Amino acid sequence: MARIDPECRTQVLRSLNTFSPFFRVPDWVVQTSLGDIPESKLLEVFILPLQDGDGGNGKRFSAHQLCLNAEKDGRIGPGSTILLPGSGNTGVNIAYGKDAYGAEKVIAIIDSISVPESKVAQLIMAGASIAYPRPGQTTLECAQELEDQGFGVFINQYKERGAPEGQLRTMNYIIREMESMGKGLSFFTCAAGSTAMLCAAGERLPDAFPNIHIVGGVYEKKDEPVPGARTREAIVRDISFDWPKVVGPLGLLVCDQFSAFGMNRTLITATRRLVGPTCGLAIESGLRRFRYFSEQGELEQHITSHGTYVMVGISMDMSLGYPDEYMKVLKLKDEALFRG
């Protein structure tokens, strides 16, 4: 019979309070994108690498808070099956950590079109089972149907409070570290998936940094997916959180797939850190929004008390998880020096 594994439980709880240090993006990356804007010389860009932790991605904070809340409410416990629709990152974390709750099985319900095979492999390696919706059925509808049929407990990361609640830990860390470095914060930027990160940012960061602007990046509907992100249309369709209040009248920033992967490649070269494609999307979106405010003559409203502009972008996972996507989008095979 399934039972709670105390060692796994300790590891999961420890991971919720473990963060890696920020690292700064070299100025030449900023100048390559914004060099024609004089104020860009005052811009410092930092990345928070949330992939450096158990589960290998930054969804662990939301994933385990969702489970802790479900456990407290008596919805899951030893022997439970967890039904989890999504793009995969949350499922990977819960599958690796299911023994912390005594869960028997995690069924990840994914879209066969938007979720790459590399993410399916990550889920299976983590111990998750895979389910696909019927044609015309969303992953959320499939999860609800499976719960109604008694297959397990549907945990809805797009609606339940645990998702943004878990990322409040991330926001507290950002505030603490920015203050310890003696810096304010002008821009916070992340790829928009479940929007839990965005909503946590909107709930916590403005109190500490009144001049902050929060950017949520999405990819264009016509493109192939940016793993871990969503299109605006999918967010409007599926997400119940109040993300429009956070991003304000400018809304989500749409970025094409090639630019997101291209910026990701630049960041890997510049920082020697294997940040993932959502990081490229986040930084590219943040720099584009900086340019927009400059063109509108509205940049100064986001300047810090130190007379600089500071941007923090989130890296949710690693580039190593998506080899086929990099080869396809950036056409890396064309750069091969030797051919058989």
Render pLDDT for 157-189 as a digit per residue (tens, 0 to 9).
999 999 999 999 999 999 999 999 999 999 999
Q: Are 107 and 128 in contact (CB under 8 A)?
A: yes
Checking if the pLDDT of 327 tops 90, the result is no
Cα 63 to chain centroid, rounded: 12
- pLDDT for the residue 278: 93
* Topology given in CATH for the domain delimited by 6-53+169-334: Rossmann fold (3.40.50)
pTM of full prediction above 0.85: yes
* Residue 337: pLDDT band with limits 50, 70, 90: low
| Phi/psi-derived region of residue 102, left when phi > 0, alpha when psi is between -120 and 50, beta in every other case | left
In CATH terms, are 6-53+169-334 and 60-154 the same topology? yes
Residue 39 has pLDDT above 60, yes or no: yes
Where do the DSSP E strands lie in 27-155? 43-49, 81-85, 105-109, 129-131, 153-154
Structural domain 60-154, CATH architecture? 3-Layer(aba) Sandwich (3.40)
For residues 304 and 184, the answer to whether their CB atoms sit within 8 Å is yes
pLDDT at 122 > cutoff 60? yes
Instruction: Write the pLDDT tens digit of every residue in 296-308.
Output: 999 999 999 999 9
Tell me how far apart the terminal alpha carbons of the chain are, to the nearest angstrom: 54
Residue of 20 and 113 predicted with greater confidence: 20
Domain ranges, ordered by start, for the chain: 6-53+169-334, 60-154
d(CA 98, CA 203): 29
User: What whole-number distance in Å separates Cα of residue 21 and Cα of residue 46?
Assistant: 10
Mean pLDDT of the chain: 92
